[in-house]
């Protein structure tokens, strides 16, 4: 079961900053899974994360909070798409996830002093090289 409130982060380890001013430079889309009358049901594809600011090498951007109480998802199958913006990019972009530590979705580990995004669970690692668009599927949870 997916947590009640969760969000995704993109960590840039490509060796270069990634300019996300254009739409879709770092994007996560997925179809949620839930159980209805004992059978798995897949929802429509939706956007779970899209970077909107420049993500410097070694830094990250957090996505919006998702309210799974409304969706009742047990998992998701999706795709991470990354288009680096520098020809000398070589490394990885990681998509990690965190979940709220309260029932209201107001408190996340990323809001605490000393938070290290590297300690979050990895959803997907996308190897990048140059400005070639890379796509990598994922299943959450595995």
Output the 3-class SS for 9-35: EEEEECCCCECCCCCCCEEEEEEEEEE
Closest by alpha carbon to 141, among 120, 123, 118, 117? 123
Closest by alpha carbon to 8, among 110, 116, 85? 110
Residue-level pLDDT at 17: 96
Mind spelling out the 3-state secondary structure of 48-68? EEECCCCECCCCEEECCCEEH
Neighbour count for residue 33 (Cβ, 10 Å): 17
18-36 pLDDT, tens digit each:
999 988 999 999 999 999 9
Low-confidence ranges of the chain (pLDDT < 50): none
| C-alpha torsion sign, points 115, 142, 28, 133 | positive
Residue-level pLDDT at 142: 65
C-alpha span between 136 and 142 (Å, rounded)? 14
The structure tokens listed for 130 are 């140059």
Question: Is residue 27 helix, strand or coil?
Answer: strand
pTM: 0.92
C-alpha span between 91 and 25 (Å, rounded)? 16
């Amino acid at each position: 079961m997916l947590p009640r409130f969760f969000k995704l982060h993109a960590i840039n380890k490509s060796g270069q900053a990634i300019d996300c001013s254009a739409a879709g430079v770092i994007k996560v889309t997925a179809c949620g899974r839930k159980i209805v009358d004992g059978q798995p049901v897949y929802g429509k594809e939706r956007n779970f994360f899209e970077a909107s600011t420049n993500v410097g090498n070694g830094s990250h951007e957090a996505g919006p909070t998702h309210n799974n109480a409304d969706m009742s998802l047990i998992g998701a199958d999706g795709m991470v798409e990354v288009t680096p913006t520098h020809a000398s990019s070589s490394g990885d972009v990681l998509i990690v996830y965190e979940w709220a530590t309260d029932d209201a979705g107001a408190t996340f580990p990323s809001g605490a002093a000393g938070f290290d995004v590297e300690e979050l669970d990895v959803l997907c690692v996308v190897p990048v090289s140059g400005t070639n668009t890379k796509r990598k599927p994922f299943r959450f949870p595995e």
